[in-house]
Amino acid sequence: MARTESYTAKLLAAALLALMVVVAGSVAFLSKGLPEHAGETLKYPATDLKFAFGSGHPAADRMLVDQFADGYALLTSGPVSIQAKEQRVLIYTWLPPELLQEAAFFWRRSDDAQNVLRTDITIAGTQQIDLSTEADWKGEITEFGFLIAGVNGKAVEIGEAILLPDSLNTRIQLSWRTWTTFEEWSQKSVNFLYGGDFRQVIALTTPVTAWLLLTLLLFWLFTRAGKRISSRQLLITAGLVSLCAWVLLDIRWSANNIRQIQLSFQTQWQADEQQRSSIDLDGEVYQFMQRLKSGVLGDKPARILILGDDITHEYYLLRAKYHLLPHSVDVVGRLAKGLTPESLDFVIFFGQPGGITQVRGWNPSWQKSLVAIDRGEWGVAYRVE
């Protein structure tokens, strides 16, 4: 009994001491490069932001963006003078309609005024972004704002933009928030999870792994100072501590998974197959393809080529191919030399009207053969003649 109590006491002591060391080390790491003087919090009301393109109207303290130019609206702060090193965190409010859409926070620097720099906004609601993780957030910021994707008539709400000063308290709170942020399922989820927000100064697995290794090292040192334990006991201890470390990460993953399941039940459980397709990530692409299938392409099996401009995600092109089944569809990044218009019935281009002429491999023979037969928010469908 005494031997068991001694073993347990040493293991607990090692685990607690390791936890203290990891916490102290994390705080020391986060304290590096702190400004000498505390900065001020900068607040920019949404109603003060100006439209570079697109439009909307204020409602209380938010801006309702409901008109988009070619699917996008841009709100800008106008000329400002902000020292990036003094402002570490952006607090934004982005509330899209039912279908999550694209959004980004952008800025310009005084030393590179012609270049627009940006970071994607991926989480709806009132959230924070650690701008220090952005390599281009430096120097003097002369303008910032939001690029918002949307559909005309469907309002996207934008709230006040707040820039918080850099401080140890801010860094600690930010690290905890990035670890506990809800991580939605995506195309990457089947193979990879960040464990919270993808912008993490200290990855969640780092302190957990450090605690695991340090606990084992301290326990080994404690047992060496007293009576030695067998290799079998040391192996069992390593397994127990590894299991504890895994459980710590699993608790976070499980909580995230439960929230995602609840969200899936709320949005998709009551819907039929067609409704589910309409509200999925590619819901608008699905609706675009359904319209083409029912009213444009006809019932006869067709040979279709899908192209996209440089800013169209390949995911949407491949999903369009899936939604066009049972038609014979190919998705390509360029027009190959051996490909001729005569081998196709239709071409669907994702991008701005006229942008198809910028696709690699384009030549005048294609211009003469393509007749636009449908235009949508996502692109243009052409019949090959």
**Residue 304 placed within a domain:** yes
pLDDT of residue 269: 60
Q: Is the pTM of this model over 0.95?
A: no
Beta strands 328-331 and 303-308, pairing class? parallel
- Which of 143, 166, 189 is the last residue before a domain boundary? 166
Cα separation, 180 vs 198, in Å, equals 11
| Residues of the chain predicted below pLDDT 50 | none
Count: domains in the chain: 2
pLDDT of residue 93: 94
Please name every residue paired with 162 in a beta bridge, in sequence order, or none if there are none: 43, 91
**Shortest CA distance to 40 belongs to which of 80, 96, 86, 97?**
86
**Residue 217 placed within a domain:** no
- Cβ proximity of 153 and 66 under 8 Å: yes
**Residue 27 placed within a domain:** no
Give me 91's structure tokens.
């607090």
- Which of 134, 166, 198 is the last residue before a domain boundary? 166
pLDDT tens, position by position, 116-128 = 999 988 888 888 8
- CATH code of 79's domain: 2.60.120.260
pLDDT tens, position by position, 366-376 = 888 888 888 87
**Residue 307 placed within a domain:** yes
**Residue 353 placed within a domain:** yes
Give me 214's structure tokens.
């340090």
- Which of 122, 141, 166 is the last residue before a domain boundary? 166
Going by C-beta distance under 8 Å and a sequence separation of 6 or more, which residues neighbour residue 25? 210
**Residue 283 placed within a domain:** yes
**Shortest CA distance to 281 belongs to which of 199, 343, 189?**
189
- Annotate 274-295 with b (16+ C-beta within 10 A) or e (fewer): eebbbebbbbbbbbbbeebbee
Domain range for 368 is 278-384
Peptide linkage before 207 cis (omega within 30 of 0): no
**Residue 4 placed within a domain:** no
**Residue 178 placed within a domain:** no
- Cβ proximity of 145 and 106 under 8 Å: yes
Give me 37's structure tokens.
């003087």
**Shortest CA distance to 97 belongs to which of 278, 243, 227?**
278
Give me 181's structure tokens.
């942020």
Q: Phi, psi at residue 258, to the nearest 5°?
A: -65, -40
C-alpha 7: how far from its chain's center? 46
Cα separation, 105 vs 141, in Å, equals 13
Going by C-beta distance under 8 Å and a sequence separation of 6 or more, which residues neighbour residue 107? 116, 117, 118, 136, 137, 141, 143, 144, 145
